[in-house]
A = this chain, B = another copy of it.
Amino acid sequence: MNTPKIRVGVIGAGFVGSALVQLLSDESRQIALVDAATASIEVVGVAVRDAQKPRPGIDAGLLTTDPLELANREDLDILVELAGGIEPARTYIEAALNRGVSVVTANKALMAECGTALAQLAHENGADLFYEAAVGGGIPILRALRTSLAGERIERVMGIVNGTTNFILSKMTSEGSDYCDVLAEAQALGYAEADPTADVEAFDAAAKVQILSSLAFGTELRGEEIVREGITGVRSVDVDFAHRAGYVIKLLGVAERVGEDGISRRAHPAMIPEDHPLASVHGAMNAVFVEGTKSGPLMWLGQGAGGEPTATAVLGDVLHAARNRVGGRHDVPFSVDDRLRSVPAGEISSVFYISIDVMDEPGVLASVASVFGTHGVSIQSMEQSGFGDEARLSFVTHSAITKNVQATIEDLAKLESVDSIGACLRVIDGGVA
């Protein structure tokens, strides 16, 4: 029997690209690939910036410095895009899709920016567009949402989808350290970039939320801004308070239904109960927690970054696309639900933790409490701590509408007895038995 060859081109040979090419060249894995797909996979080209640089494990004859030419190769079946960024990655991908070549990418920013259009383009040309590695590194959550949970009505998806911030917050929790010290340590260890903005200001998590939401609910991927708050304001006193109250602070990506046709998509730090499965996701691990109407709670956990775990996710996509090629078919793209509307952040209800630095003098609590009352924000518990310059009031509210909490914060900041607003974090309730 003549087994068909599936020809793969790879753009980018960094950690992920190199690991992928080596996996695809691994004899022992080829057996699994061939048996399962009744075909063999061959890497026909690897586009890199510098073709002179030695790349162990990659045949030098495969290297090219012209990614667009690779994307346009006549004999290509699958293009793997690992360059990242919007352009020129988008040009390469569109070139391939336009010719019916399936595309596998790890490019979360690009998918969040124009995933709807690219998925449509793939479908029109009978090609696949897979991007499992764009969310949660090696965790196969996207395929599960596409297939196993396709018949389920999902109510909420919450993920720890950024390893850098989870490393930082985990360290702050376990060691009581300050944000700046831990950030410096994370940078020294290579867990955080020299410019950590994309991670610590939750741009990365926000893009991943958009991708998760599109598969869980059918929201569009067309570069919409979603609610985004970073972790730079989280202080060790907040971590302490959370611990005493039975919570941990995590940067969460959240997408959830609000009422019949509303969707709220957000990325922000939040307090979650210590017995919640997400609370025990430490260090650079990632996890995605899905609540379905019928399935109940489900969680996926794994390594959110790293060349090899990410390459595994890319490999799973390549294999799926290869099997589809052999069968002369492609997967249907995610379906957009036109009825859904994005609910403004201010309209969402949540429990909040609010910590304010105050003057240590009589009557402060009364004036602060009256501001909460004016805006209809009901207080569940209050803790007074520190003395003198360090005096602090920490509140946990009952469930309140976000815009009322925001107005409360604004008015509190105007009080003479208030030095500064320390933190305002959402509190996620509900553990799992």
| Chain A residues close to B by CB (< 8 Å) | 19, 23, 28-29, 32-33, 35-38, 132, 138-140, 143-144, 147-153, 275, 277, 280, 282-285, 292, 294-303, 306, 308-309, 311-313, 315-316, 318-320, 323, 327, 329, 332, 335, 432-433
Min CB distance A248 to B, Å, is 13
Within 8 Å CB of A319, what residues of B? Answer: 147, 150-151
Pairwise interchain contact B38-A332, C-beta atoms closer than 8 A = yes
Min CB distance A142 to B, Å, is 9
Min CB distance A61 to B, Å, is 24
The quantity of this chain's copies bound in the complex is 2
User: Top 3 closest A-B pairs, CB basis?
Assistant: A140-B148, A298-B302, A148-B316
CA distance A391 to B60 in the complex (A): 69
Given contacts A151-B32, A433-B282, whether A303 and B295 have CB atoms under 8 Å apart is yes
Min CB distance A21 to B, Å, is 13
Pairwise interchain contact A302-B312, C-beta atoms closer than 8 A = no
- From B19, B32, B294, B323, A309 is in contact (CB under 8 Å) with B294
20 interchain pairs, CB-CB under 8 A: A19-B294, A33-B151, A132-B148, A138-B294, A140-B147, A140-B149, A143-B147, A147-B316, A148-B316, A150-B319, A151-B316, A280-B280, A292-B312, A296-B303, A297-B302, A298-B302, A298-B303, A299-B299, A300-B300, A323-B332
Within 8 Å CB of A277, what residues of B? Answer: 280, 301
- From B151, B306, B309, B318, A151 is in contact (CB under 8 Å) with B318
Within 8 Å CB of A311, what residues of B? Answer: 294
CA distance A19 to B295 in the complex (A): 11
CA distance A189 to B318 in the complex (A): 47
Pairwise interchain contact B280-A296, C-beta atoms closer than 8 A = no
Within 8 Å CB of A283, what residues of B? Answer: 433
* Given A33-B151, A35-B335, A282-B433, 17 new contacts (CB under 8 A): A23-B294, A28-B153, A36-B150, A36-B332, A37-B332, A38-B332, A138-B294, A140-B148, A144-B144, A152-B316, A280-B280, A294-B309, A294-B312, A295-B308, A296-B303, A298-B302, A299-B302
CA distance A209 to B324 in the complex (A): 29
Closest to A22 in B: B294
CA distance A327 to B331 in the complex (A): 10
Given contacts A36-B335, A151-B315, A319-B150, whether A309 and B329 have CB atoms under 8 Å apart is no
Within 8 Å CB of A140, what residues of B? Answer: 144, 147-149, 298
Pairwise interchain contact A295-B280, C-beta atoms closer than 8 A = no
Given contacts A152-B315, A282-B433, A433-B283, whether A138 and B32 have CB atoms under 8 Å apart is no
CA distance A36 to B147 in the complex (A): 10
